[in-house]
Amino acid sequence: MSADLVAALAALPHGPEFRFVDALLSLDPGRSGTGQYRLPEDAVFLRGHFPGEPILPGVLLVEAVAQLGGVVAQSDPAVVPLAGLKLAGIRAAKIQGTARPGETVRLEATVSGRMGGLVQVAGSAWVDGRLILRCELTLAGDVV
């Protein structure tokens, strides 16, 4: 991974225990990006979701796309980064599959619009070439 991709990923405000993007595979600053998250075999939240049949919770799939969308939005060299950028809205989310322990989720996020402190993101998640999530998200932050 290039130094630019490492720096962009380091800009995520989340602590390591709530980061659902392990690596950036590509980044078109301010426009789109591709990342990945490997679901650990021993993730604490898998113990109860679901016993004997663990899967990544859908809400965490959405969060992973939101995190990648934040990296994409905040990397635009022509726009001052937003302070406190967070997931503010979920539209048209459709969970179409699952991710299981040990699998790698490929994430895609495209910034589809910006207005003031709001960023619209279209995203998806894939496992082994299978689409498991498609969503439209709104991220919100403070213009500095």
Catalytic, out of 19, 49, 106, 134: 49
Tokens of 86: 């967070």
Asked if 14 is an active-site residue, the reply is no
What residue type is 41 in one-letter code? E
Choose among 71, 81, 77: nearest CA to 142: 81
Q: Taking the mean position of all CA atoms in its chain, how far away is CA 125? A: 9
59: left (phi over 0), alpha (psi -120 to 50) or beta: alpha
Say how many C-beta atoms besides its own lie within 10 A of residue 128's C-beta: 11
Question: Catalytic amino acids?
Answer: 49
